Each structure stands twice: as structure tokens, then as C-alpha cells.
A and B are shown apart, each in its own frame.
Chain A
């Protein structure tokens, strides 16, 4: 049960002069005769950080944690985010000494075990994607996108080509255009067909010698498999461009089909989604990319290489590498959890996970379709997008109202207002690690909510510690930092 006095701000719990002492006395003498740090460099006073006692700190964060919903505690069908169970076994394994205590500049001879695991993971991700060149370097999916676009740009430059445009459908995740712009490309958004798929005629009309890359999520953000993906890839390749597959939805197709087999030239994985890296209240993730053989020499540095003669793992820079995208190797802690997952499931297990993810999503779809519109598709892959548009027109109830009311029933909300191509969107991704009973309970709650009076929903949530924060004032006069005055 939550103790509200413990969730006061840390700064309000501070008492000056508590004098927390954590460290032992110095065991080395002061030395002189070396360059001294002058007074002009030294801090003049103690930092204005709070002074707290450890028991208070523990109570504070334990009580704060009770204000969260999480996968460990709740059904969390946040579409596009693959909030599946995060196996506990990974935690102990990812904290083994060589994984947790190795410094990035540790001598290669001391981390052969770790490098061997990372090398193996590169191979696994190549096999799962059907794309042979893998870089584990990017920190998250968005950085994977940027990395791949820069890799593609380097390849074009190497061929003496000046291609300036990146295309993507309107249903694309915001990181796609943001990454393309950051990489210095002109962004061209396609409206897409009314059936939720890429409109081939519209795409064809945009393809020319300026086209560098078409970015497409597959299955797309409506939860549909782009059935014409092979044709799309053919069109791009004929125009001299490349196809980027946003792999955020890989959880739908593991072992069933592979981006490399359906025409993708490059892709990113979100290890924190598909391969169960815990989401950590916002991160960290890991966003490895996989690319075709001709792009591999341009991948960022470093990659792990293996010399079978010497039985030796080492870091290498690809021949025409674009360079670094971040300091050090990559988000190894998350990559290791992904590795553990792949090892415990194997090829058949991964496919079974996707099978169940798709089965669960279709079952949920079948249970909600009679009271909520699902504009695209009788069938879906691992997720689907419902629309509260009709409810809004009838009673003023919005997708956000439904989302908030779900919290009262003990369910985390679906993703709302994404993708942008569906009005009043509610994007639901149940994942494979939920039981039939949970799906039934969730569908029943949704059904109930759709019949509840608008007023009740507008006032929701009713059971949480707070209700509908004032975001307008927050944005008009941002308070982003506590200070003693306020």
C-alpha cells in the first residue's frame, strides 16, 4: 500500500548536515611537487544536492514504484512497443562478471568470452533477418535507422551517386522522418492507400534518380503485412534506390519470413522489444542493424571478427566504415539479454513466439471488432489499430478517454493517436506472453467501457493517484526543475 509521505520530493526530505559518509578514509598520503589544481578551478562550496538517509531513500523509491504500471504487474498492450514478459533468467546472466565489469578498453585477451557471445549474436541476427552484415553498435531503433541511412549514403557516395531523398508512408513512426532529416535527406511522405497498404502508383510516381531509400515498417504500423513488399522492393531497386525495413514489428514474423527475403536491403532490430530487453521506464534499448553484403563494408565501427586459425575474437573496422555512431561498442547489457532469449528459444521457439503473438492479436481483434471499429483488416499480424472515431462522433468519447478508463480496470492503455493515418487510434499489441484469460478480461473491460456514460469516461481514471494532469499549463510555463523557492 502506498505511503504518501514517502513520495514527497527528495528535496523536501533533505536535512542539511546529515553528513552521509560512504567511503573510507584515504589510505594514501597527500603528495606534493605535482601540478596543483588552483583555487580558481575548485568548487567554493558543497554541491546543493539533497542530504538523505538510506532508509528514507529506499522507502521513497519503493513507494514511487507503486505508482507505476509495468509488464511485471499489469497487462501492457502498448502497440508498437512489444511489451512482452522480460525473463528473469536473463538478469543473472547479464550480470556475470565479464559482462558487467569489463571496461570498453579492456585488453582483448581478457574478454574473449564476451566477444565470442557478441560474435555469435551477430550471426544469429544475420540469420533471423536474412541479411548478412550486422552491426551491434546502435543504441536503439532510432539510432539504427540513422546508422543505416548513413551507411546507405556512404555506399551511394562510393558509387559516385548523389541521391537526396528518403521516402516513407504517412503511417511511419516519427523516428523514420526524424532520422532521415538528421542524416541530411529530403523527406518525402506518401499518403498510402485507403486499404492501409503502400499505394504502388503513388510510390512509382515519386521514384527517380533522386531516390535514395524507401523506409517501410513491415508488418506495418497498422499491423498488416505489406503484401506487395516484393514488388515495392523491385520498384526501388529498378530506380537505383534501397529499401529500409523498420524492424520494430519483427515479433510478428520470426522464422516465418525475413526482411532479406522479401526485398529489404537494411533493417534495424529493437532488441528491447522483439528480444525482451526490459524497457527500463523508457530505455535503454539496443538497435542493431542488418544489411546486404554490398553494404557491409560501410557499416559503423567496430564489428566483432573471428579468426578461426588463431581461435581469436577481435574488434575490426569495416573497410569503408562510416565511423562511429556513439562511444564504445554498443548497449552490451541489452544485447546480452537478447542473446539469452534467442538461445533459450532456438529457431523453433522464436517461430512459436511469433505464432502465438499473431494468434493472440487476432483473437483480441475478433473480440473487440463488434463494438470498436477496426478500419483495416479482418486479420492482423501481431497488433491491430482500432478507432474510436464513431464513438467520438456519437458521444464525444475519445481514444484518450478509453485509454484512461482502462487504467481503472487494471490494464495499461494501448498506444493512442498513432499511427497518424487512423483517427482516434487505439493500437493494441497483446504479445504472446499473455493468457487467454487476460485477453478475455481485457476485451470484456473494453466492451464495458464502450457502453459506459461519456461523463464517467471523461472523468477517468478514477482509481489512480492523479487524474488528467494539466498539460497545457505545464507546456506554457514549464517547471522542469525543483527549486527551494517554489
Chain B
């Protein structure tokens, strides 16, 4: 996926929308910040989240970060293979390392997300 076309949360999740389905992952910047990720806990299929609610966790040796829901939605599918191939998070953050697919309930949520340019600027601050 082209990072330029994605939407971003300030909490470092990216979102790609196709119809009413939002695919979510964590950004290259977040992965670099965390350094070597050692563990990922996935959201629960069937559960619904509101924006800003923690859905899962990424863990490095010395830090833990929540993965927040960028939009309201119900979890349709999770990338079950990812926890066993954590290197994908740095090798292919925007494609093979997608984390969760959500059914978008409230398209207006997308308005609150950032463009690539704005996200990059946010990270620079």
C-alpha cells in the first residue's frame, strides 16, 4: 500500500479504507521508535472499539505500547500470522504487517485522521 494515500492517527496507527472496511496497522515510525518488537497481542475478533480505545499491544524488550482503535468499528479479522513473523512490522509495515480489519460504523471518524504529510509533521514535533 502506498503510505501517501493512507490516513493516520496521532497514536501511530495507519488506516486504509475500502468500502466499509478499514485495515489498520502501525506505522514505520512507531516501529522504529519501539526498536525490536518482541511480542504483539492482537485485537479480539467480534469485539467493537471506539476511537482511542486500546485494542492490542506491542511490546519491545524495555517498553510496551497500546494499539488504539483509530475509528469506531467491529473487528472482522486479525492477521493471525503476524505474531510469529514480527520482522514483518519493520520489513513491510504497510502491507504484510496489517494488524486488524474493522467494519467502519461511523465514516465521520475518518475525518479526524491525519494525512501522511500531517502525520510526518506530527512525528517531527
Contacts and interface: CB of A to CB of B under 8 A. Distances in A.
Direct touching of A and B (C-beta under 8 Å): yes
Interface of A: 417, 471-472, 475-476
Nearest to B62: A417
A472 B62 contact: no
Contacts of B61: 471-472, 475
Contacts of B62: 417
A472 B90 CA distance: 14
A169 B121 CA distance: 30
Contacts of B86: 476
Interface of B: 36, 38-39, 59, 61-62, 86
Contacts of A471: 61
A58 to B, nearest CB: 35
Given A472-B36, A472-B38, A475-B61, 9 more contacts: A417-B62, A471-B61, A472-B61, A475-B38, A475-B39, A475-B59, A476-B38, A476-B39, A476-B86
The 10 A-B residue pairs whose C-beta atoms are closest, nearest first, are: A475-B38, A472-B36, A471-B61, A476-B38, A475-B61, A472-B38, A472-B61, A476-B86, A475-B39, A417-B62
Contacts of A472: 36, 38, 61
A193 to B, nearest CB: 22
Residue among B38, B39, B62, B86 having the largest count of chain A Cβ atoms under 10 Å: B38
Where chain B touches its partner, the secondary structure class is: loop
Nearest to A476: B38
Contacts of A476: 38-39, 86
A417 B60 CA distance: 15
A417 B39 CA distance: 21
A476 B87 CA distance: 11
Contacts of A417: 62
Contacts of B38: 472, 475-476
B108 to A, nearest CB: 30
Nearest to A472: B36
A472 B38 CA distance: 6
Nearest to B84: A476
A424 B36 CA distance: 18
A55 to B, nearest CB: 39
Nearest to A417: B62
B90 to A, nearest CB: 12
A204 B61 CA distance: 36
Contacts of B59: 475
Nearest to B36: A472
A476 B61 CA distance: 9
12 contacts: A417-B62, A471-B61, A472-B36, A472-B38, A472-B61, A475-B38, A475-B39, A475-B59, A475-B61, A476-B38, A476-B39, A476-B86
A294 B86 CA distance: 54
Nearest to A473: B38
B105 to A, nearest CB: 29
Contacts of B36: 472
A293 B59 CA distance: 44
A421 B88 CA distance: 32
B76 to A, nearest CB: 28
Nearest to B61: A471
B63 to A, nearest CB: 10
Residue among B36, B39, B59, B86 having the largest count of chain A Cβ atoms under 10 Å: B36
A471 B38 CA distance: 9
A476 B35 CA distance: 13
A471 B62 CA distance: 10
A340 to B, nearest CB: 38
A84 B28 CA distance: 45
Nearest to B59: A475
B60 to A, nearest CB: 8
Nearest to A477: B38
B6 to A, nearest CB: 28
A476 B38 CA distance: 5
A472 B59 CA distance: 11
A273 B61 CA distance: 27
A382 B57 CA distance: 38
Contacts of A475: 38-39, 59, 61
B89 to A, nearest CB: 12
Residue among B39, B59, B61 having the largest count of chain A Cβ atoms under 10 Å: B61
A279 B38 CA distance: 30
B36 to A, nearest CB: 4
A209 to B, nearest CB: 27
Nearest to B86: A476
Nearest to A400: B62
A417 B61 CA distance: 13
A475 B83 CA distance: 13
Nearest to A471: B61
Nearest to B87: A476
A417 B36 CA distance: 17
